[in-house]
Structure 1
Amino acid sequence: MTTHTITAPSAVAAQSITKTYGTDDTQVTALDDVSVAFHPGDFTAIMGPSGSGKSTLMHCLAGLDTVDSGQVAIGKTVITGMSDHQLTILRRKHVGFIFQAFNLVPTLSARDNILLPLDLAGTKVDQAWFDQIIEVLGLGDRLAHHPHELSGGQQQRVAVARALLTRPDVVFADEPTGALDSATGTEVLQLLARSARDMGQTIIMVTHDPHAAAYADNVVLLKDGAIVGRVEDPTADTVLAALAELGA
């Protein structure tokens, strides 16, 4: 397959993407002609009512799901039409993931969980970058611990470190604070904001929580599979007001 490139300075971009599920009377339009770009170093939250297409959009942007039409690009590479093998290689090098459930390997130490993507790729660790991430995330005295020996917040910090270690073009965070108490969730959101601000990391986060979205640089609003607005420099109040207008 031929790899196409785009010239727009976007970490991730979607152009006129559509996605439907089911057929005939059961067909549901999850994404309806969505075009959106996420700039390098931005922390963006994706929000909307239940069933608005938030998770579908994230999955399509990350190449975890296919689109029916339109194009998705990560960096300058159009991923639409890539094979599963090509997508796996691209994600391994250019995409990081942070999940609500942490997805740590219970038999591995925190250090080995963080290094796992590099081990799978057969890539050597950049020790200086590793040390910087560990310092920023405050994990220096927890590297030998296994997941069951860590608090929820510490486990999520390990997941954040794992996502950042490969210097991906973008980190996708799917409800990253959903399983955490409010204090620990705040800690993780501050770390994500700092990752964007201090490390230039591009972060795209799906959340239903206006307080979580307030840590982002901007909020993309979805309803019925379409982008219907954006909130710049969000606060919990402005996000709540925007969601209220959508009937969320």
Structure 2
Amino acid sequence: MITSTEQIQTTHFAVTARGLSKTYGRGETAVAALKGIDISFPAGKFTAIMGPSGSGKSTLMHCLAGLDTATSGTIHLGGTELTGLSDKLLTQLRRDRIGFVFQAFNLVPTLTAEDNITLPVALAGGTVDKEWFTFITTTLGLTERLAHKPHELSGGQQQRVAVARALLTRPQVVFGDEPTGNLDSRAGAEVLGMLRRSSREMGQSIIMVTHDPVAAAYADRVVLMSDGELVGELANPTAESVMAALATLGA
């Protein structure tokens, strides 16, 4: 059974993994993508996950978000263990308590910005919290763009719509998979600034996979991976400190 919101909020961490392993294939062709990962992500903080190609960072995020199943180990979202949840309960958990921002904006082209933002609530048969909707769309600078369709918005505006959609249900954690990968530097900085604000001003927990040291510098903490293992982390990162750390990993 999914833990109540009241119970969830008592936990210090948004997401915790213990002994997390993921192996693809069997026998001689088996590939260990994650090797016994132990990690916790503090609630209300912005964490970036980085590492060379093939380091396991995307696999880690997909397992933490319930998009992929681990071979062994446990994952807790607040007070709820994801490991072993039925498909139905896992789908419900992702819908109600997790937000996603992907490299592709994943907006419905025939819907307005407002309808794209409220789509998950509509699909779940819920009611939009109008006060919260107004707050996040104002904070994200979308007030004058709500009646526009995606093709009438810039890339940065489209991604801000995706961020608003992710925040609308007040998720316990927002996962970002290269959220600025399709944006130019100015639009990317705009979106990253909004993600940082959502963490610092709204208390939103954010976990982002990125290959970009500049993007990672917006986070409170950078977790470094190599060959399916955690190999270090940086607090209060700068683009320079991230680049130096990645250089030691051959990234």
Q: TM-score, normalised by structure 2?
A: 0.96
Q: How far 1:80 sits from its partner (Å)?
A: 0.3
Q: Which residue of 1 aligns with 2:52?
A: 49
Q: Which residue of 1 aligns with 2:208?
A: 205
Q: Which residue of 1 aligns with 2:122?
A: 119
In percent, how many aligned pairs have the same letter?
A: 65
Q: Which amino acid aligns with 2:46?
A: F
Structure 1 gap ranges (5+): none
Q: Which residue of 2 aligns with 1:216?
A: 219
Matches within 5 A, 1:28-107: 28-107=31-110
Aligned-partner Cα distance in 1 for 2:149–2:226: 41
1:239 aligned to 219, 238, 242, which one? 242
Aligned-partner Cα distance in 2 for 1:71–1:12: 11
Q: How far 1:8 sits from its partner (Å)?
A: 4.9
Q: How far 1:62 sits from its partner (Å)?
A: 0.4
Q: Which amino acid aligns with 2:199?
A: A
Aligned-partner Cα distance in 2 for 1:165–1:40: 18
Number of residue-to-residue matches in the alignment: 247
Q: How far 1:84 sits from its partner (Å)?
A: 1.4
What SS is found at the alignment partner of 1:130? helix
Change (3 A) 1:119 1:17: same
Q: Runs (4+) of structure 1 moved beyond 4 Å?
A: 2-8
Deviations 1:3-43 (A, max 9, x none): 68997521011011100001112111000000111111100
Aligned-partner Cα distance in 2 for 1:106–1:76: 37
Q: Which amino acid aligns with 1:83?
A: S
1:150 aligned to 149, 153, 158, which one? 153
1:109 aligned to 109, 112, 120, which one? 112
RMSD of equivalent CA atoms: 1.3
Aligned-partner Cα distance in 1 for 2:83–2:250: 33
Deviations 1:197-222 (A, max 9, x none): 00000000000000000000000000
Structure 2 gap ranges (5+): none
Q: Which residue of 2 aligns with 1:140?
A: 143
| Deviating more after overlay: 198-207 vs 81-90 | 81-90
Q: Which amino acid aligns with 2:250?
A: G
Tell me if 1:22 matches 2:25. Answer: yes
Deviations 1:90-134 (A, max 9, x none): 111100000100000111110000001111111111111100001
Q: Which amino acid aligns with 1:78?
A: E
Deviations 1:135-174 (A, max 9, x none): 1000011101111111100000000000000000000000
Aligned-partner Cα distance in 1 for 2:148–2:77: 34
Aligned-partner Cα distance in 2 for 1:202–1:112: 24
Q: Which amino acid aligns with 2:68?
A: D
Q: Which amino acid aligns with 1:102?
A: F
Aligned-partner Cα distance in 1 for 2:141–2:147: 14
What SS is found at the alignment partner of 2:74? strand
Q: Which amino acid aligns with 2:59?
A: T
Aligned-partner Cα distance in 2 for 1:194–1:204: 14
